[in-house]
Structure 1
Amino acid sequence: MTRIAFVGGGPKTLFALLELNDRCSPASAEGPVVEVFDPYPPGAGRVWQAGQPRHVRLNVAAGIVDATTDEGDGSFASWVARVEPRYGTEPYPPRAVVGRYLQERFRTLADTARFPLAHVPARVTGVARAGDQWEVASDAGTGFYDEVVLATGHGLPGEAPGPPLAGACNPDALIGDYGALGEAAVPAGSAVLIRGAALTAYDAVLLLTEGRGGQWMPIEGAGGPSLGYVPGGREPAKITMGSLGNLPMEPKPAQVPETINRCLDAYRDQVLAWGAGLAARPGGPGARCTGLFGILLACAMECARLSGAPATPLDLWRTALTGRGEPGRGTETAAEHLRLSIEVNRGHTLPGTAWVWGRVWSGLYPQLVHAVSRVRWDPAQERIFRRVARSMERMAFGPPEHTALKLLALFDAGLLEQGTFPPRPPTDTLLIDAVTPPPGVLAAPAPGGEAFSPLVAGLLSSGQVMVRAGETGLLTDTDGTCLDARGNRNESLAALGRPTEGPTLGHDTLNRTLHDEHRRWAQRIVRQRMPQHLGERS
């Protein structure tokens, strides 16, 4: 019997267990025994809590959400049509609905799994090697396991990654729990300053407006539909979002022109070939990103030509490095910036370099994730790549149009504004911290960065896991197996998802197919721990 402990019970754990179940023989006496440690309901975990307000919406199209098994259709699309039909045609349903789906999929798996599967509603406080096993300490006590999987997502409860915002209404990050933004803490008519101007800040803004009884009034115009805001009377008097760069995220277009999609298709294999070339030279010097950026720049130039964007290679490269588009963009107000971005997405205005890069980065993202996975960069090249990746995140993965229209309506109503976060916030302003924990496990790149979690700090100090210099995430093999301080596979200890961001890319996603570590992990468990199951499914 193999005992397996999962530290964290969110979607990454659910996906791994679904893969394991599909590879196990029915009614086998030699199957694993699995316990999932998480204070929150498993499947959904901390981020996707089913009890959060329904004003908080999914930021990616719901079509990527899929927790099916070999035994039948369990997709989100079929589930929502049956259980929550009013959201059946919505591309961006409430996160609470997605959370309910994930919870139900875990419960169904626990009831029907080909191995014993249990939820332990406790926080893990430590994991330590104990001979051939692992000692897992939690609020529920101590146990010994043959395999441990770290899937802690946005972090364990009670952790405080990064410097806290003194005086903020929410002592903890806004992750699935928004009770700190209630009217007792943020009264109607107050002045609110939010640290952050990205997706979590947008959630906070909508909770303080739409969530306080405000309504949206559809407006038809020559440029397409827009929204007006009708106050509910319980909103703050003014909400200000403040960030360092003061650049709004670029909203995603509802549709990408087919000419752009065909252009992207021509570059997918080139990105993969670049990555394969690096993999073929594992012992060489640190990788350079020049070749990769050459491919991306050529694709961006072709997309610019097809879309009519007046861009030169120098214009595009400057935008990639700075996150700023054409001269003048970034100097207008956030409302003006948002309005222009929506006009570009609708085809009413010629796009600029930021729009072009957004389509290239998001369109080639699956290939990029594969190509740069575990690349050992030259240190200077790594800094360039991380800088460009940060810029691209803002241009490629902003809010959907409907969210952008809501924000624009609040700007136009005078309720919302955006600026640079002040070094000394006004004393008569209520503060909200909308900066979420960064991915990885360290507050700053190794070797100087400190671990967010005592659990990870203990594993690092004992040499059980590795974070490479210049990175913040755990280094793992392709099946999620952690590498120890000497760079060797630490068999029976694995990490999945956000803790490994850095060596790998793009884990902040519900897309089950974007990464395959969870699938390879299940294959390893069957191959090493349950050889009698080989042949059931490779």
Structure 2
Amino acid sequence: MDTSVFNVGIIGLGPKGFYGFERLLAEIDQLDDHTDMCIHLFNESDAFATGWVYDINQPEYLLMNYPNKYISSVPRTECDAMIPMSSYSEWVSKFTGNSISYEEKQIAPRAAVGRYLKYYFNLLLKAGSSRVKIKKHITTVTAIKKGDSGFYIDTTTGAGAGLTFKTLLLTTGHSPAISSAYQTASNCDYTIPFVYPFDKKLTPVKSGTTVLCKGIGLTAIDTILGLTEGRDGAFKKSESGSYSYTKSGTEPFKIMPFSRSGIPIIPRGLAAINLKQTSFFLKHLVENTLKNKRILDFEKQVLPILKVDIEAEYYHRLFKHYHYEYTPSVSIEHFRNVQKDFHKRFPKVNQFKAQSILYPKLNPESNLQQAVKNFWEFWIIESEKKESPYAAAVAAWRFAAEDFNRLYSANVLTPASRSIFQNKYFGLFNRVAYGPPVQNIQKMLALMQAGILDFSYAKSPQLIEKRDACYLQTKTQKIEMDYILDARLPRGFSKEAAVLFNPIAKPALFSHTANLNAVEVKCTRQGHPVDASGAIEKNMVLYGTPTEGALFDNDTLSRTHNDTASMWAKNTVIQYIQSKTALTT
């Protein structure tokens, strides 16, 4: 076993793995001599830097859910990248000839973002290979074991066997959750437990069939487009901006989405780019809580304040429309008094409550198909308005998420309310604040008009599964399904699933945080996993999705949010220097 080489491993090479790789090369670039270090990059496919989410081979109709302005691989830490890097808008403008300001307002295909990530990964790979050994492995890491001098790994291909790894960065993304979903899914020919990639997972769905779609969120919209536009159906945009759909004859007869609430996701328009945060009640609560080291219950103490922020963002825009002067403050009592005064002066203006955003009533309740159409048409109009009070209200969670993460990662929520947030409110806030671009919802409306997309069973129907058939029913109607597609992004994993974070070897390097439906890896705010004995593993760091047991809102493309990789890279190089010093003294 060769221990003379300082081996470093990055397990999972989607965007987060790419960012960790970039940070490590940046730190290494500060050194004079590092020829005996080797960086091993482990990925389950050849989609290095992109993962399946930004796979360059996916269809161009699969879009980002936010404008190009927010896409950038440029590091935000003190150590410069080994090579010059630019934002996505700057990069793509060189190919399109459009101005950067124009590109910042566009919505990119995810494949195009993947090409951007791959471009810089390949440049870094070339530049880094002249300074340090780099090895790519297309394999699945199945186990990590700890020895006296470092870590050892098992893989499906034997890659990395016999090597000792001094430090590891784990950026496995949703892979453990997806693997767990497959392992725990019912073994029926008509069930598809995960829908990506479409060219493999959606192929079994035959034309002219009736398809049940679990979920009405971003993944569901992708899936619906994959079964229609992805099968040569054609959308045409009119001068008014609406879409029509022409069938190809290869799509399903009916696609029937459903969820527990039956409430669709809210689209996000380009006007949201210019919205600025104006209400800071949650920020004030967070600062006081962390200062005084209080423990909070989410539903009793945090959610009410968040609702005030939602309402304040709405009213601040509404006040402008009526030329009503108001100076925001951190006093909720002051805000409520101003509200009352405003409605006294303008009695015909309806009062607004956050509840109407979080738990809207679909109208008419007796006709869900029409209710969903009405809901989406309303939000398309509001999302394109400049300074829309409604658009500002749904943006409140995007504004507050960073402050909420400070609460979440500081572990000041009671364990019970933390679990309630994960299972009850995480998806709700995503539905409200992180919706798809307007054009995707316009396409959904076109599919409804074409008779393909049907929301008649959208709200908590009863699913009856038998060996050779499945049915969907409500109190008044029942329909047989040909396929069940789980069009949701799985979170967490089963304790029984054969995934990396459920190790067979003892002692276990990972422990779990309990959740209602699944478990997640227990780790510190710095991303260090906590083992079964409660010990912290300092030479291993989780980054991105695997940290969601401790950190909230791990945006796939963010370079700053919950950045555990930069410190890992810095500490890895410090450890390398110390090992070199030890050999020469």
Regarding TM over 0.5, the answer is yes
Q: 1:430 to 1:53 in 2, by over 3 A?
A: farther
Do the aligned residues in 1 keep the contact of 2:219 with 2:489 (CA within 8 Å)?
no
User: What are the equivalent positions in structure 2 for 1:148-163 lying under 5 Å apart?
Assistant: 148-156=168-176, 159-161=179-181, 163=184
Select 1:14's aligned residue among 11, 18, 23: 18
Cα deviation digits, residues 249-304 of structure 1 (max 9, x gap): 1111321396x62414x457526514633xx63xx7x5433554354233223223
Query: Could you say which residue in structure 1 is the equivalent of 2:467?
Result: none
Asked if residue 434 in structure 1 is aligned to residue 478 in structure 2, the reply is no
State which of 171, 196, 199 in structure 2 corresponds to 1:175. 196
TM-score w.r.t. structure 2 length? Answer: 0.77
Among 126, 131, 136, the alignment partner of 2:143 is 126
1:105 to 1:435, Cα distance in 2 relative to 1, 3 A: same
How large is the Cα RMSD of the aligned pairs? 3.3
User: Structure 1, residues 305-328: CA drift from partner, whole Å, max 9, x if none?
Assistant: 23448446xx43x468xx412585
Question: Where does residue 365 of structure 1 map in the other structure?
Answer: 401
* Match of residue 157, structure 2, among 140, 148, 170: 140
1:423 to 458, 463, 470: 463
Partner of 2:244: 228
Correspondence for 1:76 among 85, 88, 105: 88
Q: What is the CA–CA distance in structure 2 between the aligned matches of 1:157 and 1:298, rounded to whole Å?
A: 34
Deviation at 1:246, TM superposition (A): 1.5
Q: State the AA in 1 paired with 2:315.
A: R
Offset, 1:374:
4.3
Partner in structure 1 of residue 428 of structure 2:
391
User: In the TM superposition, what is the alpha-carbon distance from 1:511 to its structure 2 partner?
Assistant: 1.7
Please point out which of 240, 253, 256 is paired with 2:269: 253
Q: In 2, distance between residues paired with 1:340 and 1:231?
A: 26
Task: Return the letter of the residue paired with 1:485.
Answer: A
Residue 23 (structure 1) aligns with: 27
Q: 1:447 is matched with which residue? A: none
Change (3 A) 1:76 1:176: farther
User: Which range moved further: 35-44 or 416-425?
Assistant: 416-425
Q: Deviations over 1:202-242 (max 9, x none)?
A: 11111222122222222344xxx222223333322222212
* 1:391-411 Cα deviation digits (max 9, x unpaired): 211111111111111111111
Aligned residue pair count: 508
Structure 1 residue matching 2:565: 3-state secondary structure: helix
- Which residue of the partner structure matches residue 288 of structure 1? 297
Whole-Å Cα distance in 1 between the matches of residues 533 and 97 of structure 2?
53
Amino acid at match of 1:345: S
Tell me, in whole angstroms, the C-alpha distance in 2 between the residues paired with 1:11 and 1:99. Answer: 9
Identity of aligned residues (%): 21
Could you list the per-position Cα deviations for residues 132-171 of structure 1 after superposition, in whole angstroms to 9, with x for gaps in the alignment?
3111010221233111222111115982327425545674
Indicate if the aligned counterparts of 1:247 and 1:330 stay in contact, CA closer than 8 A: no
TM-score (norm 1): 0.84
Structure 1 residue aligned with 2:114: 99
**Aligned residue type for 1:402:** Q
Distance (whole Å) between structure 2 residues aligned to residue 400 and residue 144 of structure 1 = 46
In structure 2, what is the Cα distance between the partners aligned to 1:514 and 1:181?
33
Gapped regions of structure 1 (runs ≥ 5): 444-449
Q: Determine if contact 2:277/2:313 at 8 Å carries over to the other structure.
A: no
Q: C-alpha separation between the residues in 1 aligned to 2:563 and 2:289?
A: 16
Query: Secondary structure in 1 aligned to 2:52?
Result: coil
| SS of residue matched to 1:52 | coil
Contact kept in structure 2, 1:65 and 1:512, CA below 8 Å: no
Given that residues 110 and 116 in structure 1 are in contact (C-alpha distance below 8 angstroms), is that contact kept between their aligned partners in structure 2?
no
Q: Within the alignment, does 1:454 sit opposite 2:495 as a pair? A: no
Aligned to 1:527: 574
1:458 is displaced (CA, Å) by 1.0
Structure 1 counterpart of 2:415, which letter?
P
Cα displacement string for residues 328-367 of structure 1 (whole angstroms, at most 9, x for unaligned residues): 5877532222112222323499866xx5652110122223
Aligned partners of 1:170, 1:485: CA distance in 2, in Å? 35
Conserved in 2, the CA contact under 8 Å of 1:149 and 1:494?
yes
Question: In structure 2, what residue type is equivalent to 1:369?
Answer: N
Equivalent-residue separation in structure 1 for 2:151 and 2:434 (angstroms): 39
